[in-house]
A and B are shown apart, each in its own frame.
Chain A
């Protein structure tokens, strides 16, 4: 019978417990890593990609508004350099406003113009027939156009002829014609027996009609393809000839209303044909068709410098 006589027991258990403790510490580090990975996985987009897109959108829409406003407020006798001066001032104001608001969100921004495309704006502000100022009902608004934007008519139902009375759509009723010698695109407007305004489109392959509208004034937006704010799929300005086309009105006495359009052809405003200067409506003024802006955005994790073209009301917007 051995008698140890001293109280030293369980050395192996002690060593085993020590080693187990070290294992637990190693586990703690691994679990820490796993928790951090989970946290990393649940984070959202820490870069500013969305902010840049939002900023670009603000720039485009803001400058679009400036362009539209300045084009609509051209005083008599104002030249193209005056319009550009006003645009530059508007753009500076826009840039400062955006810089201030984005500075609060931790980014510095800047926008400036690097180029403008001159054009002309043809419009009729007073509701009258779609004839020219000398009374011709079939006349050409402008020729050699490559691009058109913001082409809107506000048609008065009361002054639009019945389809039967004016000789049928595309026949004797009011028609807007866009043609360049090889292709023709036409939009015709008349009133049906249910007292609704009917708009029909012919892109050369046959006529298609939009849903008739029962309103006293119908807004027809050719470049965005809507009739009284409702989309009309056949009405697509992309079907119109692509370049070098002329815009004319046929049988303009069969309807009445107001309209406005901006084209990238500056000569019709610089030296207008006599029928524009004969009376006060319709008229043509110089306008800026589009602007190319250079913008940059800088934040802690992103620096971005790019260009954007602004042409409000263009067909593919």
Chain B
């Protein structure tokens, strides 16, 4: 027996402590990695949705300008309701005649901004993510976005 000054208890405690530390560290890193990937996916998802809505607004704008005789236009923009299990809202704002869309996810404070190139004015407002309807208001010659 060549075991002297060995405490079995200490041996086990050390093994357990080190294993526990390793596993806890792994889980912490894994957890934060999942969070950061989630944020990246939400960002790119909102970016894609913003571009699609901007494209649909551009189509509606082109149709409204077609003959200057447009009396009615209703365009349905089909967008997903959630991005990576988080819902989002879309803010339409106009500054100095430039319209932009600000998409904000429910889960975090990181917003995504997409600019819209348009000739017809677009009414500012806020809508929730999901199917939207773009309507042309003949009387005021502006486009309005409503929840579909």
Contacts and interface: CB of A to CB of B under 8 A. Distances in A.
Nearest to B72: A305
Interface string B67-86: 10111111111101001110
Interface stretch (A39-47, A157-165, A210-218, A275-283): A39-47
B41 A34 contact: yes
Nearest to A60: B67
A49 B27 CA distance: 50
B123 interface: no
Secondary structure at chain B's binding surface: helix, strand, loop or mixed? helix
Contacts of B106: none
| B-side interface size class | 35 or more
B8 interface: yes
A16 interface: yes
A12 B15 CA distance: 10
Contacts of B42: 33
A308 interface: yes
Interface stretch (A21-29, A80-88, A222-230): A21-29
B47 to A, nearest CB: 9
A2 B72 CA distance: 87
B63 A304 contact: yes
Given A45-B55, A302-B75, A29 B85 contact: yes
A246 B45 CA distance: 63
Interface string A54-68: 001000000000000
Contact of A20 (B26, B45, B69, B75): B26
B56 interface: yes
A23 to B, nearest CB: 4
Contact of A40 (B20, B49, B56, B60): B49
3 cross-chain pairs, A with B, having the tightest CB-CB distances, nearest first: A307-B69, A16-B23, A33-B84
Interface of B: 3, 8-9, 12, 16, 19-20, 22-23, 26-27, 30-31, 34, 37-38, 41-42, 44-45, 48-49, 51-52, 55-56, 59-60, 62-63, 66-67, 69-78, 80, 83-85
